[in-house]
Amino acid sequence: MAHIRTQVGIIGAGPAGLLLAHLLHKAGVDSVVLERQARPYIEARIRAGLLEQGSVDTLHDAGLADRLHREGLAHDGMQLRLAGRDCRIDLHGLTGKRVTIYGQQESVKDMVAARLATGRPLFFEASEVALHDIATTAPRITFTHEGAAHELRCDVIAGCDGFHGPSRAAMPAEVLRVYERVYPFAWLGILADAKPVSHELIYARHPDGFALATMRSETVSRLYLQCAPDEDPANWPDERIWEGLHARLGGVNEGRITQKGVTPMRSFVAEPMRHGRLFLAGDAAHIVPPTGAKGMNLAVADIRVLAPALLAFFARGDERLMDAYSATALRRIWKVQRFSWWMTAMLHNSNGNDPFEDRVQAAELAHVMDSEAAQRFLAEQYVGLPYDA
């Protein structure tokens, strides 16, 4: 077995793990990144592409935003649609901030390139990853890479390996508390070679179900339809998809559909986010429904808390920020969970299973469209809360 020594072992090369590795490297702290998938896979998988103002600022300050600034689509507003009525939420006018459309996979490409440019280890296709001795001051990670067994000895482990990774599972059952809600609907999402119907996102509530019109570029549309959680995309031929989008969104630009898939809807939080020398970040600790586009933004927020905590530890032996990490991160996480739950409930219907709730939620959406105070609340949450909130 080959032995490797580093300061921080990072499991997962998603936005959380790669951003943490980059910030640590800039400050002179060594890390090793392990990723179970191949590089082409993580750079191609489609995820949400809406960045809060704070996430853009964080990537800029880290030196990771050159391409984002060139290719990202800045949005000063978004639109709500109910019963044929439209309401534009003036995000910039209400908050002084904006959001930016830039696919998560594009951010991952940028961060992978930055990591490889440092020459520091990034192991793709690392398998049989297991965590050991996390409650001690000398945690270890064992893994297999290119058929050879390895042991990574470190001072700290950052579990940034997503919902299904081994990091959260390594925490003792008697320590971990899980809060979860699984929603009775999902999104059928497509990518299409078609000009976006609007230069801003459109969120629509319709008797047939929710719909969302967004984009990946000026020539590629990303479109969603509410569907059943167990929906088979094969039951949605292109003609049916376009018919549903036209009905719910009031018309879209059609084009060649290049990708089709179903996204389940879940709210999930694991507490605490730290046990011993193991720290969870990103989807390893929390999942939000995609309605509010908060997944990657929460991962960035976690790292904004975790990175300074680790830097204080390695620079001065100061563990106070590490001790506060979980509580600090969770304060924001639960506020974002509330917003994502609220947006999800307000914009989706129950498929006839709860007519009372449907009427109440439609009234909630109508109130937002009629009230500047309600629009300000939505806008403040949508562009991202201040990091010290």
Residues with a catalytic annotation lie at: 75, 203, 290, 294, 382
Residue 49 Rama label (left phi>0; alpha psi -120 to 50; beta): alpha
Kindly state the helix (H) or strand (E) to which residue 177 belongs, with its residue range: strand 177-193
Helical residues (DSSP H) of 120-234, grouped into ranges: 166-169
Contact present, 101 and 73 (Cβ < 8 Å): yes
User: What is the secondary structure of 247-284 as a DSSP string?
Assistant: HHHS-----EEEEEEEEEEEEEEEE-SEETTEEE-GGG
Pairing mode, if any, of strands 278-280 and 274-275? antiparallel
- Give CA–CA dist 372/94, Å, rounded: 9
Pairing mode, if any, of strands 221-227 and 211-215? antiparallel
Q: Residue length, the chain?
A: 389
User: What is the secondary structure of 335-386 as a DSSP string?
Assistant: HHHHHHHHHHHHH---TTS-HHHHHHHHHHHHHHHH-HHHHHHHHHHHH---
Q: Please state the separation of Cα 217 from the chain's center in Å.
A: 19
SS3 186: strand
β-bridge mates for residue 82, sequence order: 85, 205
Contacts of 121 (CB under 8 A, 6+ apart): 4, 6, 32, 33
The end-to-end CA distance of the chain, in Å, is 46
